[in-house]
């Protein structure tokens, strides 16, 4: 309805396109003497118009349409409602500082002027026309064209009468006249391929019961050096139900079974591989098309909220793998969204990811940066996540990542650093910490870029933790060697301590290490038979848990799965009936229990005074030994690691007299070893060794690690 003067008569004009209607009238609403005004059919496709004279101001009205089958429908005109976004919202969005833009763009259930419906809003500044389409209008872009909100580039429309569960997309006509059918970048729920339509959904309707958990998380936010042993999980392949067409567990089924298992194993956190909506199972979730939506594969968003709430209730934190580094080229999603390179760089030297065939976000564009920052905050806000593991940070930091000379554009200073991406990472880390103290930001970053896990105020990038990829690669390279040649590679074991305290490291063996022909953790180990490989793996895990740093292990590695991980089948749980596999699992459980039982191990990972080499130079013996302690050395653990293939009697210098009790023996029969050990511990003797005044004599069977705890009185 618009004011109009027609032949010098003031009034209002109403126009409506109502597909398949044979007649229509305007019905006044709320007046003491409501009237109705028949409309003229001006185009057989369903275009109606009426001029109402002597009504100089618009009034509240509905449309009443008649159809050939005798049906009548009366409804509010979408265009009689004011926009749901204000000037301040749009200003902050265009500036890149509307941190809650996810509450305004997308599809949202609202009640305007007492009328329920759904408001739709989308950013597409170069589009010539945008319509919202769905089952409610037969996917006809003529029915609900959206209104352009000026120079903001945002298009908006409130459609009364719609509710939760409606399928919708945006039909965009670009400046060339070509029409594109796109899903909602801010959609909160999607149907599966091939249609990939967004679904109107209220993601915050779930009633949470984790207030006490969130308060504990906030209270401990200042202490990054807290217990963290992470179990990395791919939801679709952790466990499947063969009796039901081998389907994966739902969010609710997975929560119960996973919590039981993780608590038995002593893990503190579950890290789920990307759950944002993605069309291709084989991408494992790393090629995202619905950045704000938990994937439909395991249930609706409310069920994912239940998953997190349940794990919190059982005392487990939840970390989500987050992917802001790139997005796929699927035509229905972000790529060339409004007919231009909107979210990505136009120049492929900046906008094309060479390794994955995907597109790189334009981090210098305010609205794109706003989209990604809001995405991080939305996951934490809506689903109470305890951390985001940020994928592929190295590819974001460097303009020449995986590129040859001439395939990249230097920054304004002539360097290779991606200044806009670095600024984005700093902003998102600071904002997550500001709004949600205690939520962990974790970088998967494989280079020596300085200050990844240092505060932005100190010149760092602002992450809380960084994956220790260097230590992982060096250590796995060493363990892949046959024991007889390991003496030549001792540096692989010791080099990591030179930079161990430069960052807040998480020691990781992730999904990336058990795919694409890299072999499972078990078959990475040197040796020619399963028993020897299992002994190697037990020694590796014990060394890992005693080494400083938070812990992460990908599912299946804890019971030494033989084959590589496959995303479309269950883990091989049946292997746990065999001692070589079950023994590894029991050891990981006991290592977690030891790690959590003593703050010296679980709250002392970032204290450089908490580590001391006892001996690291005896390469011929394939032995290293080191001390974990508190700063005052009141509590002492000695790890003696023997990675050779021969039985040895070995002397290790220790800093204290007294009894050194054996708390871990990876060669125990309980774990699948031969049972040879040190009879529960060794008393220190006054025999100088390794620069100490006393030492213990230990028996070291092949491929074994022993952990001793000092006790002055035992």
Q: Which residues are catalytic?
A: 391, 444
Structure tokens belonging to residue 232: 């990395």
Distance of CA 182 to the CA centre of its chain: 24
Q: How far apart are CA 661 and CA 678, in angstroms?
A: 9
Contact 71, 24 (CB under 8 A): no
Q: What letter would DSSP give residue 66?
A: E
Are 476 and 513 in contact by the 8 Å Cβ rule? The answer is: yes
Residue 121 contacts residue 166 (beta carbons within 8 Å): no
Would you give the distance in Å from CA 449 to the centre of its chain?
22
Neighbouring residues of 537: CB distance < 8 A, sequence distance ≥ 6? 521, 522, 525, 560, 584
Q: How far is CA 349 from CA 323, 356, 406, in A?
A: 20, 14, 8
- CB neighbours of 14 closer than 8 A, spacing ≥ 6? 1, 26, 37, 39, 49, 50, 52, 61, 77
DSSP state of 359: B
Kindly provide the b/e burial profile for residues 656-668, where b requires at least 16 CB atoms within 10 angstroms of the residue's own CB: beebbebbbbbbb
Evaluate the omega torsion of the peptide bond into residue 194 and state whether it is cis, within 30 degrees of 0: yes
Rounding to the nearest 10 degrees, give the CA dihedral for residues 278, 281, 284, 286.
-30
3-state secondary structure at position 500: coil
| Alpha-carbon distances of 484 from 526, 527, 543, 646, 671, rounded to whole Å | 10, 10, 19, 9, 24
The number of beta carbons lying within 10 Å of the beta carbon of residue 444 is 21
* Closest of 363, 361, 360, 362 to residue 402, by C-alpha: 360
DSSP conformation letters of 566-607: -TTS---GGGGGSHHHHHHHHHHHHHHHHHHH-HHHHS-TT-
């Amino acid at each position: 309805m618009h004011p109009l003067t027609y032949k010098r008569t003031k009034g209002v004009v109403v126009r409506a396109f109502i597909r398949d209607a044979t007649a229509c009238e305007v019905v006044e609403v709320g007046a003491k003497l409501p009237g109705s005004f028949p409309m003229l059919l001006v185009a057989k496709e369903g275009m109606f118009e009426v001029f109402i004279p002597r009504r100089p101001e618009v009034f509240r009205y509905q449309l009443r349409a008649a159809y050939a089958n005798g049906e009548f429908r009366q409804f509010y005109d979408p265009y009689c409602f004011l926009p749901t976004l204000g000037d301040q919202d749009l200003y902050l969005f265009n500036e890149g500082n509307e941190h809650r833009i996810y509450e305004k763009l997308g599809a949202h259930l609202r009640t305007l002027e007492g009328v329920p419906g759904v408001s739709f809003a989308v950013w597409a500044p170069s589009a010539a026309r945008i319509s919202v389409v769905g089952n409610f209008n037969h996917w006809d872009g003529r029915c609900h064209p959206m209104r352009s909100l000026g120079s903001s580039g945002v298009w908006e429309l409130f459609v009364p009468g719609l509710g939760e569960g409606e399928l919708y997309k945006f039909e965009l006509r670009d400046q060339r006249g070509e029409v594109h059918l796109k899903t909602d970048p801010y959609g909160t729920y999607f149907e599966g391929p091939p249609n990939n339509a967004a679904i109107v959904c209220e993601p915050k309707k779930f009633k949470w019961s984790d207030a006490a958990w969130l308060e504990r998380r906030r209270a401990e936010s200042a202490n990054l050096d807290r217990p963290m042993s992470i179990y990395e999980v791919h939801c679709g392949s952790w466990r499947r139900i063969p009796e039901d067409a081998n389907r994966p567990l739902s969010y609710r089924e997975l929560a119960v079974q996973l919590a039981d298992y993780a608590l038995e194993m002593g893990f503190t956190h579950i890290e789920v591989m990307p759950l944002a909506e993605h069309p291709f199972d084989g991408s494992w979730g790393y090629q995202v098309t619905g950045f704000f939506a938990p994937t439909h594969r395991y249930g609706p968003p409310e069920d994912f909220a239940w998953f997190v709430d349940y794990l919190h209730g059982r005392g487990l934190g939840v970390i989500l793998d987050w992917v802001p580094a790139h997005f796929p080229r699927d035509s229905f999603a972000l790529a060339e969204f409004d007919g231009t390179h909107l979210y990505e760089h136009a120049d492929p030297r900046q906008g094309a990811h060479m390794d994955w065939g995907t597109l790189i976000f334009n981090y210098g564009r305010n609205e794109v940066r706003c989209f990604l920052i809001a995405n991080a905050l939305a996951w934490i806000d809506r689903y109470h996540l305890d951390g985001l593991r940020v994928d592929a940070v190295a590819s974001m930091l460097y303009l020449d990542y995986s590129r040859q000379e001439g395939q990249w554009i230097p920054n304004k200073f002539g360097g290779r650093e991606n200044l806009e991406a670095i600024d984005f990472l700093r902003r998102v880390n600071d904002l997550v910490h500001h709004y949600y103290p205690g939520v962990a930001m974790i970088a998967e970053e494989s280079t020596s870029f300085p200050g990844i896990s240092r505060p932005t105020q100190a010149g760092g990038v602002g992450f809380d933790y960084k994956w220790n990829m260097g230590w992982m690669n060096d250590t796995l390279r060493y363990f892949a060697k046959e024991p007889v040649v390991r003496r030549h590679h001792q540096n692989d074991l010791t080099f990591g301590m030179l930079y161990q305290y430069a960052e807040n490291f998480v020691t990781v063996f992730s999904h990336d290490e058990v795919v694409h022909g890299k072999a499972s953790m078990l078959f990475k180990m040197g040796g020619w038979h399963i028993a020897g490989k299992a002994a190697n793996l037990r020694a590796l895990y014990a060394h890992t848990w005693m080494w400083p740093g938070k812990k992460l292990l990908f599912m299946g590695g804890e019971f030494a799965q033989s084959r590589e991980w496959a995303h479309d089948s269950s883990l091989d749980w049946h292997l746990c009936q065999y001692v070589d596999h079950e023994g590894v699992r029991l050891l990981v459980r006991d290592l977690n229990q030891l790690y959590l039982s003593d703050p010296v191990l679980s709250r002392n990972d970032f204290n450089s005074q908490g580590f001391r080499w006892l001996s690291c130079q005896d390469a011929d013996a394939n032995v290293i030994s080191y001390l974990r302690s508190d700063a005052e050395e009141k509590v002492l653990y000695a790890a003696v690691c023997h990675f050779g293939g021969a039985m040895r009697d070995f002397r290790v210098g220790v800093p204290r007299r007294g009894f050194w009790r054996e708390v871990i023996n990876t060669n125990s029969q309980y774990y699948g070893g031969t049972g040879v050990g040190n009879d529960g511990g060794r008393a220190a003797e006054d025999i100088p060794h390794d620069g100490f005044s006393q030492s213990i004599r230990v028996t070291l069977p092949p491929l074994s690690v022993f952990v001793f705890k000092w006790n002055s009185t035992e």
